[in-house]
Structure 1
Amino acid sequence: MSLTAHIPSHRKPRRSASKLAVRAGVAGGVLSTLAMAGTASATPSTEPVHETTLEMPVLDMDLAAEVSSSVTKAAENTRAAAVDGELNALEETARTGAAAEAKQLKADAQQKADAEAKAKAKAEADRKAEAERASRSTERTSLQSNSGSSSSSSSSTPKGNSSAGSSQGKGTVTAPATGSAAAIVNFARAQVGKAYVMGGTGPSSFDCSGLVQAAYRQAGISLPRMSQAQSSAGTSVSLSALQPGDILYWGSKGSAYHVAVYVGGGKFVGAQNPSTGIVERSLSYDKPTGAVRVL
Structure 2
Amino acid sequence: MSQTAHIPSHRKPRRSASKLALRAGVAGGVLSTIAVAGAAGPANAEPVTETIEMPTLGSLGTDLSSAVAASAEASEQEALDQSLEAQEAAALEKAAKDAKKAKAEADRKAEAERAEKARKEAEAKAEAERAAAEARAEARARASRDAARTQIAATSASNSSDSGSSDSGSSDSSSSSSSASESTQVASGSAAAIVAFAKAQVGDAYVSGGTGPNSWDCSGLVQAAYRQAGIDLPRISYSQSSMGTSVSLSNLQPGDILYWGSRSGSYHVAIYVGGGKYVGAQNPSTGVVERSLDWDTPSGAVRIL
Q: TM-score scaled to structure 2, two decimals?
A: 0.49
How far has the Cα of 1:170 moved from its partner? Answer: 10
Q: Which SS does the other structure have where 1:195 is aligned?
A: coil
1:259 is aligned to: 269
Alpha carbons 1:271, 1:278 under 8 Å: kept: yes
**Structure 1 residues 137 and 292: alpha-carbon distance in aligned structure 2, compared to 1, 3 A threshold:** closer
Q: Which SS does the other structure have where 1:226 is aligned?
A: coil
**Aligned partners of 2:132, 2:167: CA distance in 1, in Å?**
43
1:36 is aligned to: none
2:29 is aligned to: none
User: Are 2:236 and 1:227 equivalent residues in the alignment?
Assistant: yes
User: Are 2:282 and 1:278 equivalent residues in the alignment?
Assistant: no
Q: Of the candidates 183, 196, 204, which is equivalent to residue 196 of structure 1?
A: 204
1:17-60 deviation line (CA, Å, top 9, x unaligned): xxxxxxxxxxxxxxxxxxxxxxxxxxxxx99886554677866x
**Aligned partners of 1:118, 1:171: CA distance in 2, in Å?**
50
How far has the Cα of 1:183 moved from its partner? Answer: 3.5
Please tell me whether Structure 1 or Structure 2 has the larger radius of gyration of its CA atoms. Answer: 1
**Aligned partners of 2:272, 2:225: CA distance in 1, in Å?**
11
Gap regions ≥5 residues in structure 1: 1-45
How far has the Cα of 1:81 moved from its partner? Answer: 1.1
**Aligned partners of 2:54, 2:262: CA distance in 1, in Å?**
121
Alpha carbons 2:241, 2:301 under 8 Å: kept: no
**Structure 1 residues 118 and 205: alpha-carbon distance in aligned structure 2, compared to 1, 3 A threshold:** closer
The equivalences for 1:45-64 within 5 A come to 51=52, 53=54
Alpha carbons 2:249, 2:301 under 8 Å: kept: no
Comparing both structures, which one devotes a greater share of its residues to helix?
Answer: 2
Q: Which SS does the other structure have where 2:89 is aligned?
A: helix
1:116 is aligned to: 120
Gap regions ≥5 residues in structure 2: 1-45, 161-165
**Structure 1 residues 291 and 63: alpha-carbon distance in aligned structure 2, compared to 1, 3 A threshold:** farther
Alpha carbons 1:210, 1:225 under 8 Å: kept: no
Alpha carbons 1:270, 1:278 under 8 Å: kept: yes
How far has the Cα of 1:117 moved from its partner? Answer: 3.0
Alpha carbons 2:257, 2:269 under 8 Å: kept: no
Q: TM-score scaled to structure 1, two decimals?
A: 0.50
**Aligned partners of 1:165, 1:185: CA distance in 2, in Å?**
29
**Structure 1 residues 120 and 71: alpha-carbon distance in aligned structure 2, compared to 1, 3 A threshold:** same
**Structure 1 residues 275 and 149: alpha-carbon distance in aligned structure 2, compared to 1, 3 A threshold:** farther
Alpha carbons 1:194, 1:205 under 8 Å: kept: no
Q: Of the candidates 205, 222, 229, which is equivalent to residue 212 of structure 1?
A: 222
How far has the Cα of 1:227 moved from its partner? Answer: 3.3
Alpha carbons 2:278, 2:293 under 8 Å: kept: yes
How far has the Cα of 1:128 moved from its partner? Answer: 3.4
**Aligned partners of 1:264, 1:150: CA distance in 2, in Å?**
25
How far has the Cα of 1:270 moved from its partner? Answer: 1.9
Q: Percent identity?
A: 25
1:104 is aligned to: 108
Alpha carbons 2:277, 2:290 under 8 Å: kept: no
The equivalences for 1:137-152 within 5 A come to none
